[in-house]
Structure 1
Amino acid sequence: MNDAKGTYHCFAGETGVITYDGTFPIRDLAGGWHRLLTTGGKWVYAPIRSFGRQRLWRIELTRNGVSKTIRATDGHEWLIRDRASKVRTDQLLPGARLQAVFPARRSIEVDPEGVRHGIVFGDGTLTPDCAVVDLHGEKIDDLLRWFPNHPTWTGTRAEGQPYIKVRGLCPLMKSLPVATASPAYLAGFIAGYLATDGHIAKDGSVTLDCKEAETLEGVRTICHKLGIGTYGVRQHMRLGYGEKPSAICRINFPAGAVCSKLLLRPTALARLASSTKRFARLRWQVVSVEPTDDIEEVFCANVIGTHAFAIEDNILTGNCHGCGAGGDAIRFLMDKESMRFTEAVEWLLGDSLPVISDEERTRRREQSAADLAARVELARSIWARSVPAAGTPAEVYARSRGITMPLPSTVRFVMTPRWRNEETGEVGRDSPAMACALQDATGRLVGVQCIFLAEGGRRKYERVRADGSKAKAKLTFGVVVGSTFRIGPDVDHILLCEGPEDGLTLRQQAPDKTVWVSCGTAMLSQVGLPSHIESITLAGDNGAAGRKAVDDATAAYLKLGLSVNSIFPDDGFKDWNDQLRGVRG
C-alpha cells in the first residue's frame, strides 16, 4: 500500500500538459486518451480524467529569471533532482529542483521544400496570385540557392540597395506546415524559419522572434515532434521601425538543441562552431509552497509503466496511479472490500479466497466497459488527427489499386503509430496509413481500420519478423465486431463485402449502390444493422473461406427477417479488387 490519503492527487484545470499535438490545459484533455511526453523523452498514450473537487496548494517556481506558478493537491508526487523517491507537494522545500524532460532527439534531415516553406513563412508576403519573398543583403547569397526553379526579379530599394524578389511560391507557405508533414519537411521548415527570423548569439544561444505567441507555440509543437528542445514563449519589448518600443514574442533554444543541419547561413554556423555556452539550465527551482483556500475540480493522467508525464515547460511530474488508499493492507481490504477484520486477515494469510460477489461482477463489467470506451477513444483520437485523402499517400494507394473515383469522406490519411504497448503505454513511431472510419449501427464512429503504406502510398507496408512471419499491413483500432466502413448514403439495401479495397471497387462499379465493409472475413456475419436496412447483397470473396463467410452471413441475416442474396467475382479472381485490376490468383 502507499501512504496517500485516500484520494488521487492532481492538478488544477489550467495546468498545461505537453501532448504530441501541442500544449493544452489539462481540463480540456480530460475524458480522452492523449499522446504524452514521459520519462526518457518518449511519447506514450495515456488517459486523462477528472478526480473531483479537492483543495489546492500553490507552488512558485523560477528558471532563468522567469517565474511560474502551479497549483496542485497536497499529495501530488514530484520528481526531484538527486532524489530516488518522489516528493509530495506538502514535502517540497525551497531550492528543490524539479526534474525536466525533453523529447528524444530524432535524426535530422532537411527537405528542400520544407526549407522554402520556412523562408517564405518568415520573410514572404502574399499577392493576389501567389506568395513572394524578397531577399536582401547577405540573404541573397545565403538563401537564393534554395529557389533554383522559381522566377526571380531584381530591383533596387530607395536607398540604392539591391534585392531579389522570388515569385510563384505556394500561398500555403505563409501558414504553419500541416501536422502530417514528414519529419524532414518539418526540419526543413524550422531551418528556413531560423534563417529568416532566428538569431544566434556569439555564445551560441539561439532565439526565434515573432509577433504572435500562437505561431511560436506551433513552432514549439513542431520542435517537440523532432526532438528539439525549446524554452517557453516569452514576451519582451524591442525598438522596431516605429518611434515607440513594441512587444515581440520569443522562444529560446537550450544550448545544444539546434544542430548544424538547421543553420543555413554561414554566420550562424560559424557562431555555433565557436560557441562558448556548453550547458543549459533546464530544471525549475522551487521558490515557495503554501496551501490555499481554493477547492476546485482537479485532473491527472495515468501513464502505465513510467507513472510520469510532462506538464508545460517540460516539467516531468508523477501521475495518479495505484489504489490511492492509505493505511495498511488489512485496513485497505476492510474499507474497499467491506471485509471484517478476521476475514481480511484470513484472506491475506492465504487460508481461503473470497467468493466473487455480485458487486465484484458488476465492477468487472464496469471495467470492461471502461476498457471498451478507452479503445473507442483511441480510435477517435486517430481519426481526429487524420486529414482528407486528396493529395496524400492514401490517394496514391487507392489509385494504385485501380480506384479512380473521388474518395469518400470516410477515407482519410493519417500518420499514426503501428503498435502500442498497453502495459507500459509506449508507442511506435508515426507511420503513414489510409484510415477508414468504422461506424456502429447508430452511425457513431467507434473504430478506424488503418492500411499502413510504404513508398509514398505506392504499396502496402511490408516487414518480415525475425521468426519469419509477416507483419500485418492492416490494423484496426477501436471496435471492429459489429462496425462497418461505409460508402454511400443511408438506404434500405446495401452491398456488404469484406475488405476496404473491395468496398471501394464495388462502389466505383456501382455508384448508385451503398456499400458497407465488415473489415474482416469473420466479421461478415456480425455487422450491426440499423432498423431501416431491409435487404443485403453479400459480395463475397472466391475460395473456401470467402464462401463459408457468405453462407454464415446469409443464415445470420435471414434470421433477422432480411432479404439476402450473394454475388462473387469471376472464376480465377480472388476478390473484387483483383478482378478490377485483372490480377488472377
Structure 2
Amino acid sequence: MVRHDAGELAHRLGRNAEAVCRRYLDAGRKQGNYWLVGNAYNTPGRSLFIRLSDSPKGPAGKWQDAATGEHGDLLDIIQLALGLVDFADVAAEARAFLSLPHPEPVRLKETLPRVASGSVEAARRLFAMSQPLGGSLADTYLRHRGIASPPGPASLRFHPRCYYRSDGDEVTQTWPAIIAAVTDLDGQITGVHRTWLAPGGKDKAPVDTPRKAMGDLLGHAVRFGVPGEIMAAGEGIESVLSVREVSPGMPVAAALSAGHLAATAFPDTLRRLYIIRDNDPAGDWALASLVERANAAGIEAIVLSPTLGDFNEDLCEYGINALRAGVRGQLAPQDVARFLDFPA
C-alpha cells in the first residue's frame, strides 16, 4: 500500500487549496491569490488568509491569522475546522478529500501517537484546540444565563464541533460546546468539562447528557481566579459563575459534582472557605463533608445558600440585584467591601 506522510498530504492539499477552502472554510471568500476568513474555525471575517497557489511569498496552502499570529498548513485547517483531536482522524479526512488510499496503521502510530479516549492527554488536546469565548455560541449561552462577565480563555473556551456520543450508542454526533479546563492547585490541566449547546446558543443541546467531564477530576476543579487566604467552591460552573458575577474579586472553583465538591483540595494558604451550596440532598451531603474536612484543617467554612436550587437559578429568576443582596448577607463582614462590586 502507498504511504503518504504529513508533508506529502499537506503538499497534495496545497495543490487543491481553493477546493479545500471551499469545503472546510465556506464562511470565507476568494480575493486574488488568497482565501480570506475570520479564523480557522470558519468564522466570517478577514483575519486569516490562505495562499491558493505557489508564489514568491510561499507555497500554496500556507496560512496565517493576522489577529493571533498563528500559521500553518491545510492539515491544521482540517483539524481545527472539524474539531478533530487525533492526527489519525485528520489524516483520514484529508485522504478521503483527496481520494487517497489508507496507509498502514504503523505509519500513523509513528507520526503521532494516539491517546486514550477520556484520558488527561486527550483532555489537554481538546482544550488546546478550542477557541476563545468572545462572540461565540458559548458567550451567547452564558449571557442568556445571566453571566455577563465570562472568564478568560485560561478557564473556559469554545469548540464549534465537539464530539458527543450517548452511553452505549455507537453513533457519534458533533455539537458546539463550552470547554472548561479542570486544573490542580498548580494550574496544570488534569481534565475538561464539556457543555454541549443547541445551535442557537441559548440552551443546552437536545442530547441525553449535555454535560460530561473527562480526565483526572478528584480533588481538582474548574478555577476562576487564584485562591489565597479566601476562596469559594461549589458544584456547577454556572452556579459559581453567578456568585462571581456579584463578587468578581473572589476566587471561585467549580468541582462539577457533589462527590468532587466534598473532595475539594485546599491550598496551603487557605484560611476561609465559602461553600456555594446546591439545594438538594446531594448538596447537603457534600456540604456536611466539606465543612468537616475544612474544620479539621483549621479552615473557617461559611455556607452560601441559594433561595432556589442553585445560584444560577436565583440569578435568572430574581436578577443580579437580588442575588447581590442575598450573597452580601451571607459573607463575613470583612469580605463584603473586599469582594462585592458595590460599597458595603
Q: TM-score, normalised by structure 2?
A: 0.67
- Alpha carbons 1:534, 1:562 under 8 Å: kept: yes
Distance change in 2, residues 1:214/1:430 (3 Å): farther
Question: What is residue 441 of structure 1 aligned with on the other side?
Answer: 185
Q: Deviations over 1:158-181 (max 9, x none)?
A: xxxxxxxxxxxxxxxx74542322
CA distance in 2, matches of 1:504, 1:551: 22
Question: What is residue 6 of structure 2 aligned with on the other side?
Answer: 16
Structure 1 runs (4+) greater than 6 angstroms displaced: 108-111, 223-227, 308-313
Counterpart residue type for residue 532 of structure 1: T
Question: What is residue 59 of structure 2 aligned with on the other side?
Answer: 213
Ranked by relative contact order (alpha carbons within 8 Å, sequence separation 6 or more), the top structure is 1
Distance change in 2, residues 1:220/1:556 (3 Å): closer
Secondary structure of 2:261's aligned partner: coil
- Alpha carbons 1:210, 1:216 under 8 Å: kept: no
Distance change in 2, residues 1:310/1:226 (3 Å): closer
Question: What is residue 179 of structure 1 aligned with on the other side?
Answer: 40
* Residue in structure 1 matching 2:122, options 367, 378, 387: 378
- Alpha carbons 1:302, 1:320 under 8 Å: kept: no
Secondary structure of 2:197's aligned partner: strand
Indicate yes or no: 2:102 matched with 1:316: yes
Question: What is residue 580 of structure 1 aligned with on the other side?
Answer: 315
Indicate yes or no: 2:318 matched with 1:457: no
1:401 CA drift (Å):
0.3
Distance change in 2, residues 1:461/1:123 (3 Å): same
Distance change in 2, residues 1:317/1:408 (3 Å): same
Segment drifting more, 410-419 vs 215-224: 215-224
Distance change in 2, residues 1:550/1:23 (3 Å): farther
- Alpha carbons 1:521, 1:546 under 8 Å: kept: yes
Distance change in 2, residues 1:440/1:489 (3 Å): closer
CA distance in 2, matches of 1:302, 1:225: 11
1:531 CA drift (Å):
1.7
1:317 CA drift (Å):
2.0
Secondary structure of 1:516's aligned partner: strand
1:482 CA drift (Å):
1.4
* Higher strand residue share: 1
1:530 CA drift (Å):
2.8
Counterpart residue type for residue 118 of structure 1: R
Q: How many residues align?
A: 277
Distance change in 2, residues 1:499/1:392 (3 Å): same
Q: How does 1:405-444 map to 2 (within 5 A)?
A: 405-409=149-153, 410-415=155-160, 416-419=162-165, 428-444=172-188
Segment drifting more, 444-453 vs 546-555: 546-555
Counterpart residue type for residue 436 of structure 1: A
Question: What is residue 134 of structure 2 aligned with on the other side?
Answer: 390
- Alpha carbons 2:92, 2:102 under 8 Å: kept: yes
1:452 CA drift (Å):
0.7
CA distance in 2, matches of 1:511, 1:455: 29
1:567 CA drift (Å):
1.8
- Alpha carbons 1:451, 1:473 under 8 Å: kept: yes
CA distance in 1, matches of 2:24, 2:286: 48
Distance change in 2, residues 1:371/1:527 (3 Å): farther
- Alpha carbons 2:227, 2:267 under 8 Å: kept: no
1:512 CA drift (Å):
2.2
* Residue in structure 2 matching 1:118, options 29, 38, 47: 29
CA distance in 1, matches of 2:124, 2:315: 32
- Alpha carbons 2:130, 2:158 under 8 Å: kept: yes
CA distance in 1, matches of 2:128, 2:279: 36
Which has the larger Rg?
1
1:447 CA drift (Å):
1.1
* Residue in structure 1 matching 2:272, options 516, 524, 535: 535
Q: Which sections of structure 2, spanning at least 5 residues, go unmatched?
A: 16-22, 64-72, 108-114, 320-344
RMSD of equivalent CA atoms: 4.2
Q: Which sections of structure 1, spanning at least 5 residues, go unmatched?
A: 1-10, 25-62, 67-107, 125-173, 187-192, 198-207, 228-300, 322-369, 464-470
- Alpha carbons 1:417, 1:427 under 8 Å: kept: no
